[in-house]
Amino acid sequence: MPKSPLDGIIVIDFSTIIAAPLIGTLMADFGAEVIKVELPKVGDVTRGSGGLSGKRSPFWLTIGRNKKSVTLDLHTNEGQEIARKLCSKADVALFNYRPGVIENWNLGPEVLHKINPDLIIGLVSGYGQTGPYKDKGGFDRTVSAFTGVTYTSGYPENPPVRSGFPLIDYLTGYLGAFAVMMALYNRDVNKNGGEIIDLSLTESAFRTSGGAISMYSKFGSIYERAGNRI
């Protein structure tokens, strides 16, 4: 039986909700060994999504598929030490916390690259690791509004509407998986070692805007809602 494309690749997934976990999900689909780190006693928050009391969440079955799970309390020295040991043998580590959080857990890039120089570290956030908005929490609906995606959705005679699904979260996951694969290629083929990937929901949202931003910056023209008209 032929090997899967990502057979032998180890991913430690410290992230939660959708965007960053989807990176691990997609990699697991193609054969990577993905170890999901969850909260002790309660597990990942998405295990309770979907409104099915006492049953496994269909949302978790989607985003958590093909992953192994372990519980760690990253607020304790013991939990942090185990997390570092996991990362010392991994190819990829995924996080989606505000800047400074993983540093407080002694799991920042500087620490992890000291114990594993070849580690690919994926940092997913609302607004990036630097800049004036870096400390703000970011979710699909807030970033959709912030970037104008919501403003351009719907009919011109009606107020803006947001998508019924968290499209920016999912797009970020797809772009994140692409970025991780490029980093692995750069590491293994070009022999350039580990990398830090700084990916924000904001960047992903702007990728959906087409020429709207350049139209405004060049001509001052605002892209308006057009309904189902082309």
What is the rounded (10 degree) CA torsion for 72, 127, 24, 173?
Answer: 150
The catalytic position among 140, 169, 188, 198 is: 169
CB 187 within 8 A of CB 118: yes
Closest C-alpha among 17, 6, 9, 13 to residue 122:
13
What letter represents residue 176's amino acid? G
123 vs 146: CA distance, rounded Å: 20
Residue 210: other Cβ atoms inside 10 A? 11
End-to-end CA gap in the chain: 48
Quick check: is 135 catalytic?
no
Instruction: Give me the active site residues, please.
Output: 169
